[in-house]
Structure 1
């Protein structure tokens, strides 16, 4: 994997973590709102032993403002100092949870709310955050026991031992969940990576099956597929030209200088063809030393100019082999599609023009306008 790809994946991971932080902050706002509504409902409809002033100030307004303030600070930290947003998120959730526990400690099950910060930290797959959350819960619990008499008297000695034990057991469960989740993510990443490699391999194999290994142009089989598709477009009104290009005296070149030299010429000419055609055109190695080019969205003059440039560029090329300077030329037949043609007559027309160019001196183009090169 390249460095750029690793950086992109890391950035994507950070963005997703930021979204999870945002979701957790929204959850905490919801918890604060639900607690406010439940407390108000309990006071209005249940036997609540507190004066209106004690309830409004000590139970409803001040704790709610305190919880909102801690969550608001977490929001600001997430936007300004997102490097520490996870830690501040855990601290905010600890304050909110223990504030609710402190106000409702007569409900014995309410102490289980302190597990929320621990299990929230699992989302970030960071063992240190889980341990930090555990330490915060234990510190807050013993601090309340030490400084809050009413809170302390409500719990028995067994509770003082059981709650930290319960917290540490839950922390180990959270660590196991975190480890299994990380392993699952690693396996998922490996599977995804394997699928990507398979897709790349399939794409390479597909391309290899469609292209000629030497010239990197389309091969005969894939050209036939494109050719049939092109004729469908032509019948719908598209303008299509077909050029058949053949290297002059190529067999003699092979016999004189060897097949490796011949391969070098084929590569050079295929490179010239690739450079001269446009992105809409389709070049192929049709046979041994023969090339076919389907040209789309060109006028006849533009198509002629393209193949003329190919002819001139090949003519300019000079090769040195066995202490000799060797020049190569090509002959070209260029045919434009018309409605009365079919698959065979269109190609045959271009091929006939090619052989006219061969018989009339080579190194020229023969077209629908007869020999104009």
Structure 2
């Protein structure tokens, strides 16, 4: 009978029901004002029962019935809503036949139908208004008395024309919706592409870690926060694959790439959640660690170093690879270059002492400790 009611349509249905009640109450208030303060031909009994109470019960019952239909049979919701609007319009027209333009109220349900962009509903609404017009014409002598022969033809024609115009508006509205959807989809696709490109610009494609430029941004921010005292101190670690040139020379660059990718994966798996890792140069990695003290940072680096030493590479004929690590903790007064030089010196120290080890500078000491 009808497509399911969407959440947005349900919201508008509630607003329309509220509007129906508002129209009915406003009409009753206008009738009371006219009866109390303007010349009115009806007596108290005739006014309060036939003009006020009975029509209000009829229209109110139609609105309430539509609400109950929506609650128990939502597939009829739209038709019930239009029918209630038609009863409301006919009720008001019948009580105000001396107002010549009052027949324009037949457009109320048509305007309601336009909101939902449903062609069948619009056809149903137009036919219902024409049927309501002729029924009112046949049943109400008062209504007939105010209509001319031209009105009998023009009112249904006016309803049909308005329904056709409403149908055209609905078609155009659907086109606009489609155009908007297409534009939004294109915009969303551009945003996704931009996000991908932005990520690619920040990442090293081989290892999936940050590249050097992005790492420098994080490094600068860490230094700023630490200098301002708004963030706990941090540690810088430099990690280098031992004898990497020999690996490339002996097994080829593809094997070297496989080692790089595996080491990077191990770094990501073992890196503390708050840490930042990047491929800083050919076989060198840089880590930012935000541990409570340098000892915790060294333990994190040792976990990475140990895990790497346990890897076995088919590309290296079943052999493994090792890394050396240098760690330095930030101290007040150190700039980017000075801290980097400390970590680099510790990395050199680890290499000199035999490789596959971690060397660090104790906090607030500035002296090497292997």
Q: Same fold (TM over 0.5)?
A: yes
Matched, 1:269 2:301: no
Contact 1:282 1:294 in 2 (8 A): yes
2:344 corresponds in structure 1 to 351
Quote how far apart the aligned CAs of 1:371 are: 4.5
Task: Report matched runs for 1:247-266 at 5 Å.
Answer: 247-266=241-260
Contact 1:245 1:354 in 2 (8 A): yes
Contact 2:55 2:91 in 1 (8 A): yes
Deviations 1:104-138 (A, max 9, x none): 11211000011010011111111111111111111
CA–CA separation in structure 2 for the residues paired with 1:371 and 1:327: 27
Of 61, 67, 74, the residue aligned with 2:66 is 74
1:362 corresponds in structure 2 to 355
Report the 3-state secondary structure (helix = DSSP H, G, I; strand = E; otherwise coil) of the residue aligned with 1:332. Answer: strand
Task: Report matched runs for 1:205-220 at 5 Å.
Answer: 205-220=197-212
Matched, 1:86 2:78: yes
Contact 1:245 1:332 in 2 (8 A): yes
CA–CA separation in structure 2 for the residues paired with 1:96 and 1:298: 74
Question: Runs of 5+ in structure 1 lacking a partner?
Answer: 1-9
2:365 corresponds in structure 1 to none
Quote how far apart the aligned CAs of 1:279 are: 2.7
Quote how far apart the aligned CAs of 1:83 are: 3.8
Quote how far apart the aligned CAs of 1:79 are: 4.2
Task: Report matched runs for 1:129-208 at 5 Å.
Answer: 129-208=121-200
Of 312, 328, 341, the residue aligned with 2:321 is 328
Question: Runs of 5+ in structure 2 lacking a partner?
Answer: 363-367
CA–CA separation in structure 1 for the residues paired with 2:117 and 2:93: 27
- TM value normalised by structure 2: 0.93
Deviations 1:76-100 (A, max 9, x none): 3344444432221111111101110
Matched, 1:310 2:304: yes
CA–CA separation in structure 2 for the residues paired with 1:235 and 1:140: 80
263-272 or 187-196, larger mean C-alpha shift: 187-196
362-371 or 133-142, larger mean C-alpha shift: 362-371
303-312 or 286-295, larger mean C-alpha shift: 303-312
1:6 corresponds in structure 2 to none
Contact 1:331 1:357 in 2 (8 A): yes
Contact 1:365 1:371 in 2 (8 A): no
2:225 corresponds in structure 1 to 233
CA–CA separation in structure 1 for the residues paired with 2:256 and 2:271: 23
Report the 3-state secondary structure (helix = DSSP H, G, I; strand = E; otherwise coil) of the residue aligned with 2:266. Answer: helix
Q: CA RMSD in A?
A: 1.8
Report the 3-state secondary structure (helix = DSSP H, G, I; strand = E; otherwise coil) of the residue aligned with 1:331. Answer: strand
CA–CA separation in structure 2 for the residues paired with 1:286 and 1:81: 66
CA–CA separation in structure 2 for the residues paired with 1:142 and 1:360: 104
Quote how far apart the aligned CAs of 1:243 are: 0.8
Contact 1:36 1:60 in 2 (8 A): yes
Residues 334 and 83 of structure 1, relative CA distance in 2, 3 Å threshold: farther
CA–CA separation in structure 2 for the residues paired with 1:351 and 1:55: 99
Deviations 1:267-292 (A, max 9, x none): 11111111111332110000000000
Quote how far apart the aligned CAs of 1:22 are: 1.3
